[in-house]
Amino acid sequence: MKAPLSWILDHIDVPAGTTTEHITDRLTLTGLKLEAIESPGRDITGPLVIGRVLTMEAEPQKNGKTINWCTVDVGDANGTGEPQGIVCGAHNFKPGDLVVTVLPGGVLPGGFEIGARKTYGHLSAGMICSSRELGLGDDHDGIIVLPADAGTPGQDVRPVLGLDEETIELEINPDRAYALSIRGIAREVLVSVEGASGFRDPALRDTPPADDLGHPVVVEDAEGCPVFVARRVSGFDPSAPTPDFMVRRITAAGMRPISLAVDVTNYVMLETGRPIHGYDADKVRGALVVRRARDGERLTTLDGTERRLDPGDLVVCDDSGIIGLGGVMGGETTEISGSTTSVLVEAAHWDAVSMYRTGRRHKITSEAGKRNERGVDPTICEAAADRVVELLVEHGGATAEPGVTVVGTPPAQPVVEVAGDLAARVSGMPITEERSVECLRAVGCEVTGSGTLSVTPPPWRPDLTDAQDFSEEVIRLVGYDRVPSVLPTPPSGRGLTRAQQLRRRVGRTLAGEGFVEVVSFPFVGASDLDALGLPADDPRRDVLELTNPLSAEAGSMTTTLLPGVLRAAGKNVGHGNADVALFETGTVTLPRHAGPAAILPVDRRPTAEELAALDAALPAQPLHLAVVAAGDASSGGWWGEARPVSWADAVEAVRSVTDALGLDVTAAAAEVAPWHPGRCAELSVDGEVVGHAGELHPTVCQAFGLPKRSVAAEVDLDLLISRAVHLRQAPAFSSYPVAKEDVALVVDAAVPAADVEAALREGAGELLESIRLFDVYTGDQVGEGKKSLAYALRFRAPDRTLKEGEAATARDAAVALAAQQTGAVQRA
Amino acid sequence: MSGPNTDYDPVEVTPLKADQVEAMREAALAAIADAADLDALKQVRLDHNGDRSPLALANREIGALPPQARKEAGQRVGQARGAINQALAARQAVLEAEHEQRMLAEETVDVSLPTTRRRRGSRHPLTLQSELIADLFVAMGYEVAEGPVVEAEWLNFDALNLGPDHPARTMQDTFWTEPAEDHVVLRTQTSPVQARTMLTRKPPIYVVCPGRVFRTDEYDATHSPMFHQVEGLVVDEGITMAHLKGTLDHFASQLFGDGITTRFRPSYFPFTEPSAEVDVRCFVCRGVDSASCRTCRGEGWIEWGGCGVVNPRVLIACGVDPEVYSGFAFGMGIDRSFMFRHGLEDLRPLFEGDVRFSSAFGTEI
């Protein structure tokens, strides 16, 4: 809310010498946070004075323009009292006029410095200003001609133009709708600023009594519209200008002046907080009727939009049909225009929830709607309407017609029981009951009783419904800044959970392995999944769609972290960082299509079954880990050649994680997008598939701007962490000598090395300490379609030195089993 | 190099004459001293101390001497050989030391060569910031609670006193999911974790919940559709705003430096009552001569987050008896805290994945 300070101070007195900053500091500390203090003249410095044009001589120029060479009386403002010679290009003034003159040394908005300069053959010492040059508006048709009684030459013109007028912009929280008005802010100044007094309530006025002479109104839905007040003026002069003060205040408050009739309704809304609607009375046919819309009804609102109405919308009708969306926006057919001479003024109280729903449904945000949906004082409809009538009469030459229509009565205020010591208990401050009562009365509550207080909130505070709400009122007036600082004493905590610790361990491990962590948005689109080459029936295509995504290209929650990390890697490569290794951990969203998550009651704890059903209705959201690497794994240099990344780096990255978690992972060939069909490992722990790793498919690399042979992996980190070894056993190892045996086995190229190794392990028996594949050979010596695998086997007994030939026997057994299980033939 | 035994007079065995032995010894010692390297010394050893060396041969002649002369001759030869062995060992040690020194000198490398052969990894600064904050609270005895980011509407809103028509729902522009009748949202705040915590634990509850949250904000220098919050919740007997203030003052001093405190301003959140905005004292200017401070932009305070006393309505919906227990809650932006703590003006590098950004923070912040 932007509020001109002078307007606030029309309704409240503050001690002499109170600065604007003091007022805004106090308002900030009691809950109306200062956003900005603005004044139109803040960018103007130096002498800006009233000048009287003494002479002006039109001088046509060669460039076709005609300039006026003027002498201007600026009093003593120029230090000499002599007339000031000024060249002016405008023509909308004459000798004797009072004009706005900036003298040399002055600076106008935009850092425009004024000096005495030679131009058009004269020494022009200053400038006669237009509105635009002063930052007061776009009017540049001519210079400002001040009213004849504006003041005397040489006098500072700032107060005359309202350039010093300060406007304070306050952030208003949704519970403080009353502060969306000068009335509410002035009341806050009263309770916040020490010494403030003399609150003059703009909504407190004698209003003519209701009668049945006014415009007929029928309210069919009293719940939706508890109070409807109608007044009427006639003989209004549609050409009457809006007075300057009103234009300035409305503009400062952030609204656009339109015409006197409209400006008056806005002015009264800003002043009292009560939205007003004005109809062109001559266009209204018969009685006004307030009801809910019927399905399918339509209305073209003031903004020119034709809207299909909902049965929940409150509408105002006349004999012609619907003429307005009650409390939200009027209709076109009865709009006040440049020829309106009779105005029907509506000040009605509307149901806030209806207002909120209608605004949301039709996507209308208006100043009126903003107030109506947050809650307006229902008792001030008559006063607000009367104020509108007063202003139309005063400034528009209108006549107030007899007749005051008032339908309905404001709802009664609830009485809330509040413990007298509640504020003390909530705040931890020694606030007495007396102090609490004093504060509550200060904000407008009626308070009776003691021990347990019976508190009636003022009608402008619909937000005060619960006992605790009143404690906030007390505490903010006592002062949030007085709340002491006391540390509570929690019971001994259990520290991080095991899973939380392991997640950190995984991150540190990967960072140690040279991977850089990234954080991506979890949004994905079909084009991303296409880029991964996912087949149509891939389960990762079953995504949770967002109703209102920021972009249609990424309109769903992702089922895989790969698009995010691949995109990030591609971006790095694009930035010239060809060697890149990234990882990301994050949840993915796997829909379960398990139906709605119920909206449960809030007046009790949900049952265990209700909670379980709620969780079951949500998608599964396992934590995944993805890695990607491109370019060189280790760079080349004086030490030797670079080593490009290979599929094995992706597997190894996962292995570094499983090692850190104390898990053994096994790899088996798989064909899964987005990987190279011949270079993709399905990774398992204890027979359960945990993810995939390998070289990316060349088309995927291309799609993400990555070099060929880039590699990636994605695993279910929750699954790995759930299987992590909790308690590692201490190892026992032998100090007897080791016996080494090497074997080279020839197998079909398609036989996985892992199978051969498993057979060797099993065949070698208990004496085998370790086995290591140290060479893989394909070529002429082993024949087409074959490969040779060379293993180093180490044997050792826990309790003795091996006997001669014992290791060789074990080796032979290993080879025999490998031969049986994998067709391996020992290479001569 | 014994000469021929021309005159078989044992006493007259030439090689065993004192002056002869002395000459052999001198010759050997001179050769040892002259040996320039280990190879030369090896040859000297063969020549003067080997099986065919003059002294070795002379030694063989001792047996030819009459018994009374053998002792003396034996001693003479023995002494000479002893001296030679000693000299050889000493020379060997010297030459080995020289050799090693030379070898080491030859092996000198340019240690200023670059050694970075492997990439350096790093963790994301927001992860580090989250962990740092979690650790501060764990040190106080809190636990770290978690919940899903795709959340039930009821837990994100209704359970937190944000009914379906609450104007505050529009304060948080929510991502909704299809189908709408499923009532599932991307959580707009970490507060549903508070509700979950109260629904699954009995007081006393002291938890913090760091996590990702979502709002339909267009992505720019200061807005992101996804950001990170840390929320704290305490539910215990006799909890007051003073405890909230004490906790946040402690949090502020731990995160921003000794003596950094907080300021409360009245605010509005449906799930707390009373509610407050928390400002943290600018840790750069500390509120002194703030006008030129770029961190707080002249305010002396930095907007940090929101907090308040848990609304009894929330306690009721979550099965906690408000007659027995009270609580406080607070929430701060992790990204925002990171930004002003580390002087980041545009948040987008946080989510762009450029390794130059994360690498600058390594594995600790």
Q: Taking a C-beta distance cutoff of 8 angstroms, is the pair A559, A590 a contact?
A: yes
Q: How far is B103 from chain A (nearest CA, A)?
A: 21
- Using a CB-CB cut-off of 8 Å, the residues of chain A touching B304 are none
Judged by CB atoms within 8 Å, which residues 75-94 of B form the interface with A?
none
Check A476 against B120: CB less than 8 A apart: no
Q: Which of A373, A494, A521 sits opposite B225 (nearest CB)?
A: A521
Let me know if residue B174 belongs to a domain.
yes
Annotate chain B with three-state secondary structure. CCCCCCCCCHHHCHHHCHHHHHHHHHHHHHHHHHCCCHHHHHHHHHHHHCCCCHHHHHHHHHHHCCHHHHHHHHHHHHHHHHHHHHHHHHHHHHHHHHHHHHHHHHCCCCCCCCCCCECCCECCHHHHHHHHHHHHHHHHCCEECCCCCEEEHHHHCHHHCCCCCCHHHHHCCCCEECCHHHCEEECCCCHHHHHHHHHHCCCCEEEEEEEEEECCCCCCCCCCCEEEEEEEEEEECCCCHHHHHHHHHHHHHHHHCCCCCEEEEEEEECCEEEEEEEEEECCCCCCCCHHHCCCCCCCCEEEEEEEEEECHHHHHHCCCCCCCCEEEEEEEEHHHHHHHHHCCCCCCHHHHCCHHHHHCCCCCC
DSSP-derived letter for residue A493 is: P
- Report which residue type is found at A393: V
What is the phi/psi pair of residue A796, to 5°?
-165, 145
- Domain CATH number, residue B200: 3.30.930.10
Q: Is residue B165 part of a domain?
A: yes
Contact status, residue A665 vs residue A622, Cβ threshold 8 Å: no
Residues B180 and B301 occupy one common structural domain: yes
Amino acid, res. B293: C
Domains identified in chain B, total number = 2
Residue A468 to residue B319, Cβ atoms within 8 A:
no
- Tally of CA atoms within 13 A in the half-sphere of B359 that contains its CB: 15
CB B278 within 8 A of CB B291: no
Contact criterion met (CB < 8 Å) for A545 and B155: no
Q: How confident is the model at residue B10 (pLDDT cuts 50, 70, 90)?
A: very low
**Per-residue pLDDT at A324:** 94
Residue A558 is encoded by which pair of tokens?
């992702």
In a domain, B365, yes or no: no
- Secondary structure of A650-706 in HEC code, one letter for each residue: HHHHHHHHHHHCCCCCEEEECCCCCEEEEEEEEEEECCEEEEEEEEECHHHHHHCCC
Question: Domain map of chain A by residue range?
Answer: 2-39+166-192, 48-161, 217-407, 416-482, 498-723, 739-826
Helices B125-140, A498-512: axis angle to 10 degrees equals 150
The interface predicted TM-score (ipTM) is 0.86
- Give me the residues of A, 526-555, that contact B with CB < 8 A: 544-550
- Those residues whose C-beta lies under 8 Å from the C-beta of residue B51, and which sit 6 or more positions away, are none
pLDDT bracket for residue B1 (50, 70, 90):
very low
The DSSP call for residue A737 is P
Structure tokens at A75: 């009093």
Say whether residue A517 is in contact with chain B using an 8 A CB cutoff.
yes
Instruction: Looking at the structure, tell me whether residues B243 and B187 fall in a common domain.
Output: yes
CA-based max dimension of chain B: 137
Give the pLDDT of residue B61.
81
Which residue, among A567, A695, A548, has the nearest Cα to A633 in the 3D structure?
A695
Contact A480 B326 (CB under 8 A): no
CB A740, CB A794: distance < 8 Å: yes
> Which residues, at least 6 apart from A41, have a Cβ–Cβ distance to it below 8 Å?
A48, A134, A135, A158, A161, A163, A164
For residue B332, pLDDT beyond 90: yes
Give the pLDDT score at A327.
92
Of A428, A484, A510, the CB nearest to B121: A510
Cα dihedral across residues A691, A697, A703, A708: positive or negative:
positive
Residue (of A269, A285, A374) closest to A331 by Cα position: A285
* Cα gap A216→B175, rounded to integer Å: 45
Instruction: State whether residue A648 is helix, strand or coil.
Output: helix
Q: Which amino acid is at A762?
A: E
From chain A, the residues in CB contact with B247 under 8 A are 487-488
Q: Residue B5: inside a domain, yes or no? A: no
Angular region, A710: left φ>0, alpha ψ -120 to 50, beta rest = beta
Q: Are residues B102 and B169 in the same domain?
A: no
Residue B160 sits in the same domain as residue B44: no
Last residue of a domain, one of B62, B77, B106: B106
Among A427, A519, A575, whose Cβ lies nearest the Cβ of B240?
A427
CATH architecture, range A2-39+166-192: 2-Layer Sandwich (3.30)
- Do domains A48-161 and A498-723 share one topology? The answer is no
Identify whether B120 is part of a domain. no
Same domain, B89 and B139: no
- Smallest CA–CA separation between B102 and chain A, in Å? 24
- Which CATH code is given to the segment(s) A739-826? 3.30.70.380
Q: Do A483 and B245 touch (CB under 8 A)?
A: yes
Q: Which domain holds residue B47?
A: 10-106
Say which DSSP state A176 is in. Answer: -
How do A516-517 and A580-587 pair as beta strands? parallel
| Residues on chain B touching A586 (C-beta within 8 angstroms) | 212
Please give the single-letter amino acid code of residue A541: R
Q: Which residues contact A825 (CB under 8 A, 6 or more apart)?
A: A745, A746, A747, A819
Name residues 218-247 of chain B within 8 A of A (Cβ).
218-219, 225-226, 234, 236, 239-247
A508 in reach of chain B (CB within 8 A): yes
Q: Same structural domain for residues B176 and B300?
A: yes
Shared domain check, B307 and B181: yes
> How many residue contacts between A and B have a Cβ separation below 8 Å?
298
B282 and B152 assigned to the same domain: yes
- CA separation for the pair A453, A418 (Å, rounded): 5
- Burial of B88: CB neighbours in 10 Å, binned 0-12, 13-18, 19+: buried
Level-2 CATH architecture, domain A416-482: 2-Layer Sandwich (3.30)
Q: Is B119 exposed, middle or buried (0-12, 13-18, 19+ CB in 10 A)?
A: buried
Both B212 and B264 in one domain: the answer is yes
Residues 9..68 of B with a Cβ closer than 8 Å to A: which?
none
Is residue A475 within 8 angstroms of chain B, CB to CB?
Answer: yes
Among B115, B202, B265, which would you mutate to test the A interface (most chain A Cβ atoms within 10 Å of its Cβ)? B265
User: Could you give the 3-state DSSP secondary structure of residue A815?
Assistant: helix
| pLDDT tens track for B76-105 | 888 888 999 999 999 999 999 999 999 999
Q: How far is CA B21 from CA A144, B9, B75, B83, in A?
A: 132, 18, 11, 12
Q: Is B360 on the interface with A (CB under 8 A)?
A: no
Residue A434 parent element (H or E): helix A433-442
CB of B354 within 8 Å of a chain A CB? The answer is: yes
The answer to whether residue B276 neighbours chain A at the CB level (below 8 Å) is yes
Q: With a cut of 50, which residues of chain A have pLDDT below it? A: none
Q: Is B274 within 8 Å of A476 when comparing Cβ atoms? A: yes
Q: Give A52-81 as a DSSP string.
A: EEEEEEEEE-TTS-EEEEEEEE-TTTTSS-
B168, B178, B206: residue with CB nearest A547: B178
Residues of A in contact with B132 (CB under 8 A): none
Q: How far is B98 from chain A (nearest CA, A)?
A: 29
User: Judged by CB atoms within 8 Å, which residues 712-751 of A form the interface with B?
Assistant: none
**Closest-CA distance of chain A to residue B301, Å:** 13
Of B131, B240, B318, the CB nearest to A605: B318
B90 and B231 share a domain? no
Q: What's chain B's average pLDDT?
A: 90
The answer to whether B298 faces chain A, any CB pair under 8 Å, is no
First-to-last C-alpha distance (Å) of chain A: 91
The 3-state DSSP class for residue A322 equals strand
**Pair B94, B217 in one domain:** no
Interface of A with B in 295-354 (CB under 8 A): 352-353
A516 Cβ under 8 Å from any chain B Cβ:
yes
Superfamily of segment(s) A498-723: Bira Bifunctional Protein; Domain 2 (3.30.930.10)
Tokens of A679: 């270079």
Determine if the peptide bond prior to A147 is cis (ω within 30°): no
Query: In one letter, which amino acid is B296?
Result: C
CB A466 to CB B312 under 8 A? yes
Token pair for residue A313?
């919308």
In a domain, B24, yes or no: yes
Confidence of residue B167 (pLDDT cuts 50, 70, 90): low
Residues in B touching A487 (Cβ below 8 Å): 140, 243, 246-247, 250
Interface test with B, best of A521, A602, A639 (most B CBs within 10 A): A602
CATH 3.90.1170.50 for domain A48-161, yes or no, is: no
* Contact B357/A at CB under 8 A: no
SS3 call for A178:
helix
Of A486, A581, A605, the CB nearest to B243: A486
Q: Based on the domain organization, do B333 and B206 belong to the same domain?
A: yes
- pLDDT higher than 70, residue B8: no
What architecture does CATH give domain A217-407? 3-Layer(bba) Sandwich (3.50)
